[in-house]
Structure 1
Amino acid sequence: MSWHGGPLVGFDLETTGTDVESDRIVTAAVVRLEPDGTVSRERTWLLDPGVAIPEQASGIHGITTGHARKHGVPAASAVEEITGAVAEVLRSGTPLVVMNARYDLSLLDRECRRYGLRSISERLGVLPSPIVDPLVLDKHVDRYRKGKRALHALCAHYGVPLDDAHDARADAVAAVRVVRRMGERHHPVGALSLTDLHALQVRAAAAQSASLQSYLRRTTNPSAVVEPAWPVIPRSR
């Protein structure tokens, strides 16, 4: 059976910003979809991140500082639960679908360090795998397509509904449905084993970063550096 024809688990975070080293988790979702597309299991979290949520971030995901403080659970306990849930999925061998995995998984890693918790890698003994990243895969299978590659754009391109963008659960479900369509449409990728698929994305992510870095250095910033590591950015010392 192909990887996209079996169960897949979507994972998504909504956060206070876009810096993996300093920003915090606000909401999270881990959602399992069966081969027929039905949701068979899900967990969601609303956190009190312990810091103010910038208005720009609230404008995207709809969670204000006041709402998070009143209704959110303490960040440390939630991060422990989220990390444990993700590690359990990967330990089972079920593919974990994460849109822009380099960001979400790295931010979760930094949250673990912040609260003195074991990271996913420490729990598994290896880097998180198998991961399926719609962003990396779409850039690989359709390199020269013009236009945006954000989740809403991928949903439109692959004919997947996205009714509540930037809700962690909705985004996790949509990401799974996008990679299913991608695997069906692009047979060479859809026919890969999970081991080969993960390795392909490691190489593709590095190549995509190198290409972007080269472009930025030619056009706007001669000293630009684009992180090549995937699916987790290594911690700085």
Structure 2
Amino acid sequence: MIVITLTKVPQSLRGDLTKWYQEVQTGVYVGNVSARIRDLLWERVIKGIGTGEATMVYSTNNELGYQIKTTRRQYQVVDFDGIPLMMRLNAETTPVKHGFSNASKFHKAKVMAHKVANKDHHSAVHPLVAIDIETTGLDVTKDRIISIAAVKHSGDGDPISFQQLIQIDQPVPHQITELTGILSEMLTEQGVSLESALASLRDFIQQFPVVGYNLHFDASFLSMAFRKLDQPDLSNQMVDLMPVVKKVNQFLDNYRLETVLAEYHIKNSDPHRALADAKATLSLALKLIENGDLTI
């Protein structure tokens, strides 16, 4: 059994806890999860508590059968012959950064070590290319690529962009036009053949590592296109950012690109447009590298 009490914390933190615990009274959450999930949720509490306070009591193998963790500045958890006691301090101690468990302290030290090791790493990052495509649907065997975009970060100067509309022999579905803004007429007038677009893409990305968000989708369509043209697939290192984000942000409401970009304070000027999505994906990759969460 686990009980967490919260006082004056952000509403977003309360929402996160209700995914795992039941709120039996305002600010009081009860649940029964594994020790690993319990510690991860406590870290989430520490991270998102703001100026509020929290206390957690959970079952463990000691004299009382439970352990206590708290962020309350007026109290300190002390161990008295194996028994956890809440000792009230005579005077409020100097405010400290929240984080009282050994696991939390270790996690923060690890994060700080990453940041120190990766100081100025953004400018020294190895070259990489972010790609994104738009298609007529989700079925790789039936639907077609209608737009390809890529943004190259070489480490010197501003990123370089590549974008190409692709001609197809069928109308663009209405729902795809609504989502992407791409009309059949645009493909006819401005598009090139799939063979030409793929050749230009290969020349653009060269042997740079390729990053994408939910990259499996883009890569599967590109692989199918190369196969149809009887050409070899790309041999570049392919890095999908979605599993990286899922590993370091385990409490997002969802992992759609727009949600993840908002979490990292990255603006996407034109969502569901290949070039804008590629630019945003590159910014996300660089942010993950800067934070020490991604190595390429």
Quick check: 1:49 aligned with 2:168? yes
Q: 1:214 corresponds to which residue? A: none
Does the 8 Å contact 2:130/2:152 carry over to 1?
yes
What is the aligned-residue identity percentage? 28
| 1:173 equivalenced with 2:279 (yes/no) | yes
Note the aligned Cα RMSD (angstroms). 2.3
Alpha-carbon spacing, 1:172–1:147, altered in 2? closer, same or farther (3 Å): same
CA distance in 2, matches of 1:113, 1:51: 20
**Is the counterpart of residue 149 in structure 1 residue 268 in structure 2?**
no
Distance in 2, matches of 1:102 and 1:22, equals 17
Q: Is the 8 A contact 2:151 2:282 kept in 1?
A: no
Which residue in the other structure is 2:180 paired with?
A: 61
Q: In the alignment, is residue 101 of structure 1 matched against residue 215 of structure 2?
A: yes
Against the structure 1 CA distance between its residues 167 and 79, is the aligned structure 2 distance closer, same or farther, given a 3 Å change threshold?
A: same
Moved over 4 A (4+): 1-5, 34-37
Q: Which has the larger radius of gyration?
A: 2
**In structure 1, which of residues 129, 134, 138 is the aligned counterpart of residue 245 of structure 2?**
138
Q: Cα offset for 1:16?
A: 0.9
Deviation at 1:169, TM superposition (A): 1.4
Contact 1:33-1:173 within 8 A present in 2 as well: no
Per the TM alignment, residue 70 of structure 1 is displaced from its structure 2 partner at its CA by 2.2
The size of the alignment, in residue pairs, is 176
* C-alpha deviation, 1:35, in angstroms: 4.4
Q: Does 1:161 align with 2:275?
A: no
**Structure 1 length-normalised TM:** 0.66
Change (3 A) 1:14 1:51: same
Give the Cα separation in 2 of the matches to 1:116 and 1:83: 15
> Does the aligned pair in 1 maintain the 2:133–2:146 contact within 8 Å?
yes
- Whole-Å Cα distance in 2 between the matches of residues 85 and 100 of structure 1? 21
Cα displacement (A) at 1:66: 2.2
Mapped to 2, the partners of 1:108 and 1:49 lie a distance apart of: 15
Query: Structure 2 CA distance, aligned partners of 1:175 and 1:78?
Result: 21
**For the residues of structure 2 that align with 1:35 and 1:118, how far apart are their CA atoms?**
28
How many Å separate the matches in 2 of 1:36 and 1:134?
A: 23
Corresponding position of 1:112 = 226
C-alpha contact 1:80 1:117 (8 A) present in aligned 2: no
Q: Which runs of 5+ in 2 are unaligned?
A: 1-116
Q: Secondary structure at the match of 2:166?
A: strand
CA distance in 2, matches of 1:27, 1:37: 26
Kindly indicate whether the alpha-carbon contact (under 8 Å) linking 2:151 and 2:279 is maintained by their aligned counterparts in 1.
yes
Conservation of the 8 A alpha-carbon contact between 1:158 and 1:182: no
Match of 1:81 among 177, 200, 204: 200
Distance 2:204 2:275 in 1: 14
1:84 and 1:105 mapped to 2: Cα distance?
17
> Per-residue displacement from partner, 1:156-205 (whole Å, max 9, x unpaired)?
110111111122111111101112222333x3x34x4x3xxxxxxxxxxx
Instruction: Pick the structure with more strand per residue.
Output: 2
Counterpart CA distance in 1 for 2:203 and 2:154 is 21
Match of 2:132 in 1: 12
Q: Is the 8 A contact 1:47 1:68 kept in 2?
A: yes
Q: CA deviation at 1:84?
A: 4.2
User: Which of these residues, 173, 186, 189, is aligned with residue 70 of structure 1?
Assistant: 189
